[in-house]
Amino acid sequence: MSSPQDSSTQQASTQQAALVAILEALVDPLLQRPWQELAAVESVSIVAGQCQVVIGLPYPWLSVEADLRRRVEAAVAPHLQGATLTLELVSRIPETTARANVAALQGVKNVIAVASGKGGVGKSTTTVNLALAMAQLGARVGILDADIYGPSQGMMLGVPSGTRPQQINDNTMAPIDVHGVQAMSMSFLIDERQPMVWRGPMASGALQQLMTQTQWQDLDYLFVDMPPGTGDIQLTLAQKMPVAGAVVVTTPQDIALLDAQKGIEMFRKVEIPVLGVVENMSLHRCTQCGHEEHIFGEGGGERIATEYQTQLLGSLPLTLKIRQQADSGQPTVIADPDSSEAGHYRAIALKVALALIGQATPAMPVFSVSDD
């Protein structure tokens, strides 16, 4: 004959199993895949009238937290039987498997190259704002300024001139922490007015040292601000770095699109997936009268994304304040986080994180159900 305690335990187990089934059937609002397929339901326990649920998601979720909580609460509320729900959301950013003959980067899960076929399209400004936006979404983020000849990330991040990284030992140095991200740039190691009169192999070697001798600390994403162009240096860097995916920045202008195509072709040549295209300076809105004008053309980013079977991650406006904020060391997502421009950057960053999931190898969490 079973005791009341045994009956209570059996009832709790049955209730927990039912909750697990309900949660696993929920379709992720961003990935459009059931949570069972994503192994997102990490634990469900009912103890002393408290129902504790842990959901692990493969992307930074802060921007959609309210929606996720509403979905879970609506799904399980009819089945709580008087228990109080405590929901914990955690990020389990998967790590991309390194390509053959390319070593993984210690302390970094995913390396994202931000590139352009030519200079002057706002690649560095886009890089710094995307990295900071990803950090605002809840990820651990770093920035590597790979533009050896014209490093600009130090100024854009507001790092005081003369700041030097801390030397850890003979072979490693600590990145500089600024605005909640880890950063490394050649500008931290040399006088900012010193020209880098190096040939390609020297520049490539210097960048590889920056990348591998920086002691990155548990990064989900490392954004690499690539040098503009598609020459030997860019090709060497793409081959040597464990790049998970690339973001190509362009303007709608026809000549910029031609160069962006070359950038996409370069990444395809070295078998690096292009996560998408960012169309910068797509629209100018007059601050005085509100008139809108496509100064550099219209729809170019969408056309090139369609041609290469990738996605248009987003279109960014041509505005004076984006340039001013970057030049002042307070990029847009830091200086004006509630602006529409900052919202665009966060939306693009989230799309990048979602696009990477298809390239990564997720770590399977240990699922547990507890009733004690």
- Which CATH number goes with the domain that contains 32? 3.30.300.130
Do 118 and 211 belong together in one domain? yes
Domain boundary pick from 28, 56, 91: 91
Do 135 and 214 belong together in one domain? yes
Do 74 and 114 belong together in one domain? no
Establish if 366 belongs to a structural domain: no
Q: Which two tokens stand for residue 151?
A: 């490093």
159 is in an annotated binding site: no
Q: Is the predicted pLDDT of residue 27 greater than 90, yes or no?
A: yes
300 is in an annotated binding site: no
Establish if 1 belongs to a structural domain: no
119 is in an annotated binding site: yes
Q: Domain containing 148 — which CATH number?
A: 3.40.50.300
Tell me the pLDDT band of 111, cut-offs 50, 70 and 90: very high
Determine the pLDDT at residue 370: 44
Residue-wise pLDDT for 285-326, tens only, equals 666 666 566 555 566 678 888 888 899 999 888 787 888 888
328 is in an annotated binding site: no
Other beta carbons within 10 angstroms of residue 151's beta carbon come to 24
Do 53 and 117 belong together in one domain? no
The domain tally of the chain equals 2
Cβ contact 153:225 at 8 Å: yes
Do 351 and 304 belong together in one domain? yes
138 is in an annotated binding site: no
Q: How far apart are CA 233 and CA 202, in angstroms?
A: 10
Do 82 and 118 belong together in one domain? no
Do 239 and 118 belong together in one domain? yes
Q: How far apart are CA 81 and CA 354, in angstroms?
A: 36
154 is in an annotated binding site: no
Residues 6+ apart with CB under 8 A from 196: 148, 149, 186, 190, 203
123 is in an annotated binding site: yes
224 strand-pairing partners: 113, 144
Q: Is the predicted pLDDT of residue 364 greater than 50, yes or no?
A: no
Average pLDDT value over all residues in the chain: 84
Query: Residue 101 — left, alpha, or beta (φ > 0 → left; ψ -120 to 50 → alpha)?
Result: left
Residue-range definition of the domain harbouring residue 60: 9-91
Domain boundary pick from 32, 63, 91: 91
Q: Is the predicted pLDDT of residue 344 greater than 60, yes or no?
A: yes
Q: Point out the least confidently predicted range of 80-89, 227-236, 294-303.
A: 294-303
Do 173 and 298 belong together in one domain? yes
Domain boundary pick from 56, 91, 126: 91
301 is in an annotated binding site: no
Do 78 and 117 belong together in one domain? no
Tell me the pLDDT band of 44, cut-offs 50, 70 and 90: very high
DSSP state string for 221-241: EEEEEPPSS-SHHHHHHHHHS
Do 83 and 195 belong together in one domain? no
Q: How far apart are CA 238 and CA 283, in angstroms?
A: 31
Residue-wise pLDDT for 173-210, tens only, equals 999 999 999 999 888 877 666 655 566 667 777 777 88
Residue-wise pLDDT for 128-150, tens only, equals 999 999 999 999 999 999 887 77
Do 166 and 140 belong together in one domain? yes
Determine the pLDDT at residue 197: 57
Do 234 and 270 belong together in one domain? yes
